Structure 1
Amino acid sequence: MSTKGFYKEFEVFSKRTHTAPMQYQFSLLAPNKEIALVMAQENFMRREPAVDIWVVQRGDIRKMSQEERQSLQRIDNKDYRNTKGYGYLKKKWRHYEQGMLDEQEIMSWGGKKKG
C-alpha cells in the first residue's frame, strides 16, 4: 500500500474562552478530519484550556488572488479616520506650556523680587 497522498495537511484553530476570538494555532498531518481533530485535542489538553477547536483541511481554505487583493486598497482618501493626524497636539501643548507664566514673573507683579 502506498502512503503517497495518505496524509493530508490540516490547520488547527482554537478558542480559549467562550468570548475569545478563534485563533490559529498550528498545522498537522493526519489521514482524515476525525483523526486530525483527535490529534488537535490531544495536543491542547496537555498545553492549555480550550472551549472550542476547529480543524480545517488546508486544501479547503481559499485565499485571495493578487487581483482580488488589489481591490482591498482604498479608492479614496480617508486619512481623516486615522488618529495619527493628532500627533501635532503634543508639540502644540509643549509650546503652550512654555508660554505660560512662571513663578518669577508672577512675583514681579507685586513689586517684590524673589530671594
Structure 2
Amino acid sequence: MSNENFFIYEVFSQKTVNAPFVQQFSLLAPNKEVALSMARENFLRRESCFNLWVVKRDDIFGLPPEERPFLERLDNKSYRETKGYGDLQSRWRHHREQYEEKQKHAGNGS
C-alpha cells in the first residue's frame, strides 16, 4: 500500500470540558474519518478524555520562521504591568507613620 494517498493528521485531546486542547501525536490516514477512528483507538487506550480532534497538518497555517521574531513582546507597555505596586504597602505605612508623627507633634505644640 502506497503512502501517496495518506495525509498526516495531528491529534488533539481535551481532558475536561474546561481544559485546553493539547496536541498528542501525529498519524497517517487517508481521510479525516479514518484519522479520528485511529486517534480514538490509539489515544483512548492510554487515558480518558472529554473531546478529541484530528486536524490535517496541511490545513494548519502558521508563521514562517522569518516572521517569528515579530511575536516578541514590545517593551513599551510597562504602564500595564503591576510591578510598581510591589512595595505599596510599605510606602503607605511610611506615609501613615509620618502623618501620625506630625499629628503627635502638632498636639504637643499647642
* TM-score, shorter chain, exceeding 0.5: yes
Give RMSD over aligned pairs: 2.5
Sequence identity percentage: 50
Relative to structure 1, the CA distance from residue 12 to residue 82 in structure 2 (aligned partners, 3 Å threshold; closer, same or farther) is farther
Question: 2: CA distance between counterparts of 1:55 and 1:27?
Answer: 9
Structure 1 gap ranges (5+): 90-115
Q: 4+ residue stretches of structure 1 with deviation over 2 A?
A: 73-83
Question: 2: CA distance between counterparts of 1:33 and 1:52?
Answer: 15
Relative to structure 1, the CA distance from residue 82 to residue 29 in structure 2 (aligned partners, 3 Å threshold; closer, same or farther) is farther
Return the letter of the residue paired with 2:29. A
Relative to structure 1, the CA distance from residue 23 to residue 82 in structure 2 (aligned partners, 3 Å threshold; closer, same or farther) is farther
Q: What corresponds to 2:7 in structure 1?
A: 8
Question: 2: CA distance between counterparts of 1:5 and 1:35?
Answer: 16
What's the offset of the Cα at 1:77? 3.6
Structure 2 gap ranges (5+): 88-110
Question: 2: CA distance between counterparts of 1:82 and 1:24?
Answer: 33
Per-residue CA deviation, residues 33-58 of structure 1 (Å, 9 max, x unaligned), is 10000000111221111111110000
Return the letter of the residue paired with 1:64. L
TM-score by length of 1: 0.62
Q: Which structure dedicates a bigger proportion of its chain to helix?
A: 2
Q: Kindly tell me the number of residue pairs found equivalent between the two proteins.
A: 86
